[in-house]
Every structure is written in structure tokens, then in C-alpha cells.
A and B are shown apart, each in its own frame.
Chain A
């Protein structure tokens, strides 16, 4: 083992690793907030999204990721939001 190798090992030993728990918490907060939002959506949303996509794809060439459906509930009123990004016309 060379001298630099030994030195590296010693310095690594004293180096503080970054706070990984903090990172874990941030990642969890984001993914859980996202999943809780989806949880409140009824089961048919995914199926409806697929069928809507099929209909749109019949007329315009689109990507699956370009259709977003979201169901929001505000004061007992449900809002269904359909967002389709159409490809640019040449």
C-alpha cells in the first residue's frame, strides 16, 4: 500500500459524509405527496386516460406522455382537467 493510499484512507475516515437522512426525508415528502394525490383519484381515471389517448391518437400522432388527466376536488366540486400537448404542425 502506497503512502498516498494510506493518507487517503485516513482522511476518508475523518471526512463527514453528507446528511443522507435529510435527503431521504425530502425524497419521501415529494413522492408521498404525489402518491396521496393519486390515491384520491377514482380507479377509472387510468382507464379513461387510456381510452382518451386512443381516440386522440386516431386523429393526431401523439405521445403517451403528452396527455395528462387530473381530477381535483375543491370545496365539494370536482374539476377534471385534461391536458393534451399536440405535436407541432410542420
Chain B
């Protein structure tokens, strides 16, 4: 049976789709058969971030309505052979997603995949509810900013009450915090909530900290998930988060301000003389 991961946040624009894309690529790179589903019906975007927008023929809603088979709708990623993408539909029908339909798709995917990553839409409407409903693991994407932290806390409330695990009284969803767009410099200036501030308020285990990085926009511009930019800080931070998700003990990086260029120059000189 596949593990179902929901990537959620409440607030929009904090990096859910970026995270879903990088996480699923990371899991597939590790050899796990992974499917990533876009639950944002009407506002499909995961396909763009993954660079498969021109290969969409059928979508999630087509499968639910029986207009195509799951196999027809799944897009096999050309760069990661263990990865498949199920795009969202662009329909404006708000009731396109049904609990039974989503359950059936997840069950069928569960037979052949190790991980199913559900990219939740923003808000707390049906798409967001269904993205989290069947989850075993939740990744709460949060920016170090008041409205994002508050919305994340609200999502934690929903995760502990409005999910299948909660309703059936089974072991609760395992919740993880992923802090994104983190600027160590602004934190040390006192202009941004620190990791420990957010940790203290939300009080769930930390999966990763992704630094604010130009690599993220570069990645979305080119349709290559940022985790594949292995040179970049954000890409490496996502790779660390994937490792932690798989139970590895990886130290946190990119939490400190980069030293000033003059300082770096001197440390370089020092190294050379040794």
C-alpha cells in the first residue's frame, strides 16, 4: 500500500506546488515509484512547474468521471522514470472532485506506487479537504510571516479532525513543518520570524528549511523542479528534506547568513595558504 503525502498550507503562494514537485522528484530519484497529483481543480499549475504542460491529454477529473483510464491520464516523467504526474482539470465545475472518485483513484494508484504526493490547493474548500482526507503524512508548508503561520495552524486543526484517519480514530496523520522562503539575514536583523519562533508556535516536527533563493524562480521558469538544480541552496535543502522524510538524520543547512564577500575572500585566502 502506498504512503499518501499531502502538501498543504492554507495560505496561497507559500510554495506548495514547488514543494510537491521537488519532493516527488526527490522520492523518485531515490528509486521509489511516485505519483504526484494536482488537486487544484480549475487552476492547474503543477504541470508547468514539472515542465510537462504540453503533454496533458486527460486529467484527474476525466479519470473520476470515467472519461479516461488512470493510465491514459498519468504523465510519465521523461527525466525520472519512477515518477508520474496526474494533472488537475481546468474545469470550473466546483463539484468535479468527489470523495468516492478521489478514493478510487488513490486506491488504484496505491497498487503500483510507493508514494502518492497530493498537491493541495490554497484555502479550505473541497479540493483542499479532499487532498488531505486520505493522507498518512502531511507536510505543512509555511513562510516565516504572520498570515502564513496562522493559516498553517488552522490547517493543523483540520488535519487532526477532518481526515479519514481522525474520523476512524486511527493513528493520527504524521505532521511535518517545511519552512520556505527563509532569509537568515532578515532573521538576524530582527525583521523576520526565526525558525525557532515558528517551531515554538506550531510545535510540529521540522522536515526542512528552504532558503529564499533565486534558484526557485529559475527552476519554475524552465519547468525543472528546483531539487534537480543540485548546485543550488534551495535544491540541496529539498534533497535534505526528502532524506529526512525517509528517516535519515540530516543536519539542517542554510540557517545562517552567508558571510560577507570580504570575509569569504579572506577565508579562501586562509585555506590557500594552509
Contact = CB atoms under 8 A, between A and B. Distances in A.
A28 B149 CA distance: 8
B191 interface: yes
B201 A21 contact: no
B235 to A, nearest CB: 27
Describe A's contact surface by its main secondary structure. Answer: helix
B264 interface: no
A21 B192 contact: yes
Interface residues of B, number: 16
Interface in A17-56: 17-22, 24-25, 27-29, 31-32, 35-36, 39
Contacts of A21: 187, 190-194, 197
A28 B150 contact: yes
A19 B193 CA distance: 10
Contact of B153 (A20, A27, A32): A32
Contacts of B187: 21
- Give the one of A22, A28, A36 with max B CB within 10 A: A28
24 contacts: A17-B190, A17-B191, A18-B190, A19-B190, A20-B190, A20-B191, A21-B187, A21-B194, A24-B145, A24-B146, A24-B193, A24-B197, A25-B193, A25-B197, A25-B201, A28-B149, A29-B201, A32-B149, A32-B150, A32-B201, A35-B154, A35-B157, A36-B153, A36-B157
Given A20-B190, A27-B146, 17 more contacts: A19-B190, A21-B187, A21-B190, A21-B192, A21-B193, A21-B194, A21-B197, A24-B145, A24-B193, A25-B193, A25-B197, A25-B201, A28-B201, A29-B201, A32-B149, A32-B150, A39-B157
